[in-house]
Amino acid sequence: MKLLFIQSKPPHGSVNAQEGLDAVLMGSAFSDCSLLFTGEGVLQLIKSQDPADLGTKDFAKAFGALRDYGVTNICVDAASLERYQLSVKDLAIEVEALASAEAARLIASHDKVLNF
């Protein structure tokens, strides 16, 4: 069973991104999981973020642990990166940037998709 988790919420202002990441880590204990960042979700990956002044938890540290949890297929929507004038070099972890058609193929290649 291949599960795809899609993260589309910005990192700060709510715990949505953090709770989405929690779900991916839990999913990895049961199944083959992949991760796709799209829309505002790509902002979660910008490196060297420091939420200390916000008084919120630096949950993004856990992105670095994804591979240890067996989540190795980590992708971003290239058009979303472009919208925020980002490249994969600006991101905290190694990811594969996908064109829209490739992202569609990624979604189609999984049995279930969980949106966050």
Partner 1 sequence: MKFAIVVHGAPYSSEGCLSALRFTEAALAGGHEIVRVFFYHDGVYAANALAEPPQDEVDIVAGWQRLHTEQDVELIACIASCLRRGIIDQTEAERYEKPANNIAAGFLISGLGQLIDAAINADRIMTFGA
What single-letter amino acid sits at 89? K
- Residues forming the site for partner 1 (CB under 8 A): 1, 3, 15-16, 19, 22-23, 26-27, 29-31, 112-116
Shortest distance, position 19 Cβ to partner 1, whole Å: 6
Closest approach, Cβ 93 to partner 1, in A, equals 22
- Residues contacting residue 42 through CB under 8 Å, at least 6 positions apart: 76, 77, 80, 81, 84, 86, 91
Confirm if 70 and 35 have CB atoms less than 8 A apart. Answer: no
Q: Tell me whether residue 47 or residue 70 sits nearer to partner 1 (CB atom).
A: 70
